[in-house]
Structure formats: structure tokens, C-alpha cells
Amino acid sequence: MGAEVKIDALLENMTLAEKLGQLTMTAAGHAVTGPVIAGDSVEALRTGTVGNVLNLIGADHVHSWQRLAVEESRLHIPVLFALDILHGYRTLFPIPLAEAGLFDPAIWAATARATAAEAAADGIALTFAPMLDIARDPRWGRAAEGPGEDPWVGRCVAESKVWGFQGESLARADTLAATAKHFVGYAAVTAGREYAALELSERTLREVHLPPFAAAVEAGVAAVMPAFTDLAGLPLTAHRRLLRETLRERLGFDGVLVSDYNAVGELIEHGIAADETEAAALALRAGIDIDMMAGAYRRGLPIALQRGLVTMAEIDESVRRVLRLKERLGLFDDPFRRGSQKEPVAARTEWRHLAREVAARAIVMLTNTRDTLPLDPPPKRLAVLGPLADVSAEMRGPWWAAAPPEGHVTVVEGLRAALPAAEVRHAPGVSIEDADTSGIAQALALCDGADAVVLCLGEGAVMCGEAASRAHLDLPGAQRAFAEAVLDRAHERGARVIAVLFSGRPLVVPWLIARADAVLAAWFLGSEAGNALADVMTGRISPSGRTAMTWPRAMGQIPIFHAERPSGRPFASDNRYTTRYLDEPNEPLFPFGHGLTYGKFTLSGLRVAPSVARESDTLEAQVEVTNEGKRRAKETVFLFIRDKVASVTRPLLELKAFGSVTLAPGERTTLTLAVPVRELRFLGIDLEPTFESGEIEVLVGPEAARKCLLTATVRLADGSPR
Ligand code: BGC
């Protein structure tokens, strides 16, 4: 029987309660580890009144729940099991913001592929990832989960991740359906405060926040999750125009829209629904297919039907989409396919190798004065200090999926393994967040006689991710006092200090950057964190990560990002009446794309062809890259454009391509970056895409700072006049 015929037949047969079951997702809650099948859930699965479950971990558990649905429910419809799997399932890769900094689509896809295989082997069929919110405000903790500040990067990540999770066919036992979230603009919450309402111009919405979702839809993403938030007066969960017109009609999304956790119920608190019935009707009419955790569809839609707020056709349309997804996932065919594979032992070793490689490559070397790194010759005595130096659970970062707290390599463990002949001594000094300074003296004593001090500082894993907005982005607790004391003591004794910063966002720590001899942004690197950091510190691997978000020098600069639009009064140091602060420079501490390597790269001879280009052409920028340093290293190169005169103002820098080369000492090569000219279209005065004739500046270099970029000019020939 063809899929649609089967779905028609089911729909024909389903009671209203069974239909609403397919539109309902509930959490397994404590059943994940406790006595498996508890009260209500059994009944709901047997009666077909819950069709989708989140947060159930373990193939045995998943299969026993599935059995209840397919063997005991009237229509035998399989359950969809879902989980947030943002950067690995049991094997954890670096958090998404860190992984974005690899600027390597093949790796972005590879980690999603491995993650899908590992999670599907446990019976999971749907992940709530990738998170595609473009984040320009590091106060917002969820910046950790996404691709950073740039929409072009967001597009590339979206494409790679959807492909990585979903593979060629969702019916395979090792794939997951992906969910692009959170549609759309969530990262712009007011003042970076979680769940707050937001304002966005239609232009910024379309130019910055929508493109990654468009790319995910184009790549065939199976599901989309609207954001919790209110966008200019309408919560996304009820945003009919954006969900139905923009997402479904304009972008062509025909998959499942799943609400965020309890978001349908929260329409009451938002103040646009008087009760659950109205909330359910608003969400369904806006196009939300699955109500996650509110129970509003189950309880409210029957009443909404009676009141004429929704129609059965609207309900059927959503049920059909959910059943289609289950069909595409092969669940009707074999609901036990995922989770029936043998223990993937060999694969697990491979995933750990991949995790180590990706983690090493995600580390961003922010500074390295006097070639402090790598540690060469290898130190004999090393003091590894700080509250993040030896805690496995913290290495996971936020959203650790099914990864237990233990088993993730710490910095102390990694350095001990990499330097077996060295004496590696450790003391935490202080804890991550509290004010107790009683452990400082003991830690300071370890600086005496050490060849170098590795100081592991930062946020705890739960201080970023969801519900983790921060108004201060300095080190929490007593860490600053501790770090200053260590810096004083180590420098007095002639030992260099390498600061390793753990965080889910750029921190605002100019004092540390100024004083430490080298600073590594470790973000949260996952299961192989300590080995990866040791690989970089010992010089086995050159650091090559770049920051996918701008690092501010002061809180007052936030939001800060490279793609700002021009001012009519550009900064001039001798003119007060230009765009500036009285008390801080405009420049960030580290621009987007910043990250040092153990090589010493120079870029020269930028050529862009054709010099007169048409919309159907592809621009090719070629640049000579030379490694004048003493070590083999990888250099990432960015291509930005600046449309100097257009009918609307255009950003000062717009990222359009990136690429990288690995070069031995003394080696030189030509790197080519290609940009299809149609990518230079932009939204005109009427917000419709336009292609205008005129001059475009092409800027190529290692980071988003004009002074580091080579420039060339091309002329667009066949566009419309301004
Ligand atoms: C988060 C989502 C997540 C969902 C399910 C929500 O609180 O906002 O990103 O997918 O929970 O765990």
C-alpha cells in the first residue's frame, strides 16, 4: 500500500482522541532511569493518546514503550522518540559554537553523522537540532548551541548538519530526523535575557535570522521548532504569517512543526489566549503540528472544535504531516529498526578519534605572547590549576544528551597522558561559582618550581545553554581574585601562565587577556577535551579554531558583530561627533574569525576575476598564502564583500566565503575562494531581492578586521540601476 493511501486509511479510522495523540508529545521524565514504564504513559500509549515521546534514553526502554504502542494500541501506530542531541549523544563533540569555528562543512556533517548513528542505535528517531539562531549578544546563554553571529556561517552549518543527521534516507537505521530551531529571531531577545520578548526589523529578520532556516529547508530538514519568544507583539508559536506564509509557502517547508516545550500553553502567559482552548486553537491555526508538553491540544482542541475555532480539516492536515514523518523514518515498516543494531564498539572508538580531532581543531588560540605555546621543550614540572582543570562532567558543556558525567578527559588527565615524563600537579584553588578563597594558598604553592602554569578558568557547563543569561561576563565567583594571585606568583617565579578559558560564549575578560602569556578559548570541547588541549599545548597539533562570535572588550559594546551597517558619521579619532564611545574603543577585543596558529601566515597578491561580472558568473578570488613560520599549521581565510553604494545601506563587511590551507614551514600556495555572483543580491527598499550594478569591494584575510584584509574591486554589470 502506498504511503499516502495508508495514511488516508488511518485518518479515516482514527477517533479525535487518537488524532490528537499524534499531535501530542510528552516527556518520559524520570522514567529514563527509574522504573521504566509508569502509570499514565502506559495507558496513553495503549490508547494511542500520546504519539510522540521525548527524553527516553536506552534502546530497551524505547523498545518496551514502542511495543505498547504498536502491539497494544488499536491502530498500532508507532511512537516517535525524540531527544535534544546538540553535539553528540554519548560521545560528545565540541559545543556547536566551538565547532562552528572550524569553518569546515565536512566536519560539521561528519559529527552530525556520527551523532545520528550513535543515537539511532539507542532507538532515537528525531533530534531537536541543529540550533540555527544567529547570536550577536553573548549575554544570551544559548549562543553556545548555535553557529555564532554570521548568517552565512549559519546557512553552511544548516546544510551540513541536516545532511549529516538525515543522510540519504531517513528510513535507514542510523539516521535521525533533524529539527531546525528556534524559528526565528530568538537570539535577539531583549538585553540577552532568556525568554524575553524581542524586536526585529523585517530587514534584519530576513537578512540575518531567516537564511539559516531557508538553507535547512532547502536541505530537506524534517522538522522545525518555533521559538518560545514574542516577536514584536506575536509569540512565534502563534505566528501564522511567519509559520504558514514565510516558512511553509515561501520557503516551501512541508515537514512537521513541533512546538517548543510547553510553548502552546505559554500563549496564555504571553497574553494572547484566555485559556488552553484558545491557546491550542491559535497554535494549530498558525500551523504547529505537535504540541510538546502543554497537553493543550489533547484537552483544548476538542472544545475548540465545538466552538468553531478550528476545523477537523486543520487537525487532519497536522496528523497527516506527523504520520508522513513516521512513514519517512521507516517506523511503520519496522518500528524497532533503530535500537536493534549490535553494540557499536568499533564505531565508538572511531567516534572518540573524531571527537579528539574536532576538539583540537575547535580550540581558539586568542593570544600567544613570546611564543609561550607550544610547550617546547616539554616541561618537567607543570602546575595545572583552576576549578575547570580536572572535572570530567564540566567538559561536556550544556546539552550533554545521554553522556554520563564521568569518562570525559580532563585537562589534568590529558596533560599527564601527553607528558608522561613530566610531573603534573593540580589544585583547583577555588570553585567555579562560590566566593570561598580558602584553597588559593595551596594552589599558589604549586606555582613554585613549575616550568609553566596552566590555569583552567571559566563558566560551568550549566552556566550556558538554555536559561543561562548572564549580565556579567567576567569570570564568576572568586576566579578573578584567584587568577590574579596565580599570575602574580607565577610571574614572580619566572613561570609562564597559559590560561584555558571554558565558556559557551565570548567572555569579557580583558584583564586576563592582558596578563596571561597565552590564552586558549576552549569553549566546551566534549569527551576528548583534555586530550585535545594537550595535543595543542604540546604542539602535536597547531591550533586552528576561529571564533564564530566577536569578543567584546566591555559589556557596554554588546551587541557587537562584524556585519554592522555604516554610520553617516564613521569613527574618526579626532572628531567627537562620530560614532564612538567616550570610554572604550569601538573595536572588539577579538574580531569574528580571530584565532592564532603555530604557523606565521602572510597573504598577498589578491586577484578577483572577472573584474566585470554578471549575475550568472562566479567570482573567483585567488590569494597567495605563505607559511613563514617554523611549524606546520592550518590557516583559515575569509572572503567578505562590501557593496559601497546601493539603494539601501549594506553592511561594512558581509561574509560570502571561507576556505583553509595547511602548509609546512616555508610552503606557499594559492587559495581560491569562489562566490556565485547571484549571492551578491540583497533585499532592496521593498524587501524584495535585487541585483544592482556598481562597484563591490572584495576583502580577503584572516579575520573580520579591515586592517588585516586585502582588497580588490569588481564591477557588477548587468544589474538594475539604483
Ligand atoms: C528548548 C528546546 C528543546 C526543548 C526540548 C526547550 O526548553 O528551548 O531547544 O528542544 O526544550 O527539550
**pLDDT, tens digit (0-9, with 9 covering 90-100), for 294-351:** 999 999 999 999 999 999 999 999 999 999 999 999 999 999 999 998 777 788 899 9
Confidence at residue 32, expressed as pLDDT on a 0 to 100 scale: 40
pLDDT band, very low/low/confident/very high, at 186 (cuts 50, 70, 90): very high
Q: Whose CA is nearest to atom 8 of ligand 1?
A: 260
CA of 87 to the centre of ligand 1 (A): 14
682 lines ligand 1 (CB under 6 A): no
Confidence at residue 345, expressed as pLDDT on a 0 to 100 scale: 76
Choose among 289, 171, 133, 297: nearest CA to 223.
289
Does position 33 have pLDDT exceeding 90, yes or no? Answer: no
Instruction: Kindly report whether the global pTM for this prediction surpasses the value 0.85.
Output: yes
183 lines ligand 1 (CB under 6 A): no
Does position 615 have pLDDT exceeding 90, yes or no? Answer: yes
CA of 285 to the centre of ligand 1 (A): 22
Q: Whose CA is nearest to atom 6 of ligand 1?
A: 261
Place of cell 506527523: 322
* Count of other CB atoms within 10 angstroms of residue 610: 14
CA of 290 to the centre of ligand 1 (A): 13
The least confident of 575-579, 635-639, 714-718 is 714-718
CA of 156 to the centre of ligand 1 (A): 23
195 lines ligand 1 (CB under 6 A): no
- 161 contacts 108 by C-beta, under 8 angstroms: yes
CA atoms within 13 A on the CB side of 339: 22
- d(Cα 10, Cα 13) in Å, to the nearest integer? 5
The whole-number average pLDDT for the span 643-662 is: 97
Average confidence score pLDDT of the chain: 96
Q: Which atom of ligand 1 is nearest to the CA of 293?
A: 5
Grouping H, G, I as helix, E, B as strand and the rest as coil, residue 385 is strand
Confidence at residue 34, expressed as pLDDT on a 0 to 100 scale: 39
- d(Cα 424, Cα 415) in Å, to the nearest integer? 7
- 523 contacts 504 by C-beta, under 8 angstroms: yes
Longest dimension (CA), the chain: 80
Does position 35 have pLDDT exceeding 80, yes or no? Answer: no
pLDDT band, very low/low/confident/very high, at 212 (cuts 50, 70, 90): very high
Does position 394 have pLDDT exceeding 90, yes or no? Answer: yes
466 lines ligand 1 (CB under 6 A): yes
Choose among 228, 37, 231, 26: nearest CA to 142.
228
Choose among 360, 398, 602: nearest CA to 504.
398
Does position 496 have pLDDT exceeding 80, yes or no? Answer: yes
Q: Which atom of ligand 1 is nearest to the CA of 131?
A: 9
Residues 6 or more apart whose CB falls under 8 angstroms from that of 354 comprise 93, 110, 111, 114
The least confident of 171-185, 240-254, 341-355 is 341-355
Q: At what angle do helices 411-418 and 529-537 cross, to 10 degrees?
A: 50
- d(Cα 108, Cα 85) in Å, to the nearest integer? 14
- d(Cα 395, Cα 362) in Å, to the nearest integer? 14
Confidence at residue 338, expressed as pLDDT on a 0 to 100 scale: 97
The whole-number average pLDDT for the span 526-549 is: 98
**Would residue 153 be called left, alpha or beta, if left means φ above 0 and alpha means ψ between -120 and 50 degrees?**
alpha
Q: What percent of the chain has pLDDT over 70?
A: 98
- 103 contacts 660 by C-beta, under 8 angstroms: yes
Q: Which atom of ligand 1 is nearest to the CA of 128?
A: 10
Q: Which atom of ligand 1 is nearest to the CA of 182?
A: 9
Confidence at residue 106, expressed as pLDDT on a 0 to 100 scale: 98
Does position 112 have pLDDT exceeding 90, yes or no? Answer: yes
The whole-number average pLDDT for the span 565-594 is: 98
Choose among 348, 352, 347: nearest CA to 409.
352
Q: What percent of the chain has pLDDT over 90?
A: 96
CA of 260 to the centre of ligand 1 (A): 6
Q: Which atom of ligand 1 is nearest to the CA of 55?
A: 12
CA of 72 to the centre of ligand 1 (A): 30
- 244 contacts 350 by C-beta, under 8 angstroms: no
CA of 27 to the centre of ligand 1 (A): 11
Does position 206 have pLDDT exceeding 50, yes or no? Answer: yes
Q: Whose CA is nearest to atom 4 of ligand 1?
A: 261
Which one is catalytic: 260, 291, 617, 643? 260
Confidence at residue 2, expressed as pLDDT on a 0 to 100 scale: 86
Q: How far, in whole angstroms, is CA 356 from its chain's centroid?
A: 19
Give the type of residue at 387. P
Choose among 699, 722, 563: nearest CA to 641.
699
27 lines ligand 1 (CB under 6 A): no
Burial class of residue 666 in the structure, from the number of CB atoms within 10 Å of its CB (0-12 exposed, 13-18 middle, 19+ buried): exposed
84 lines ligand 1 (CB under 6 A): yes
Grouping H, G, I as helix, E, B as strand and the rest as coil, residue 160 is helix
Does position 722 have pLDDT exceeding 80, yes or no? Answer: no
Does position 123 have pLDDT exceeding 80, yes or no? Answer: yes
**Would residue 308 be called left, alpha or beta, if left means φ above 0 and alpha means ψ between -120 and 50 degrees?**
left
Confidence at residue 29, expressed as pLDDT on a 0 to 100 scale: 64
Confidence at residue 30, expressed as pLDDT on a 0 to 100 scale: 42
- Is 275 labeled as catalytic in the residue annotation? no
Q: Whose CA is nearest to atom 11 of ligand 1?
A: 261
pLDDT band, very low/low/confident/very high, at 38 (cuts 50, 70, 90): very low
Q: Which atom of ligand 1 is nearest to the CA of 225?
A: 10
Place of cell 599545548: 537
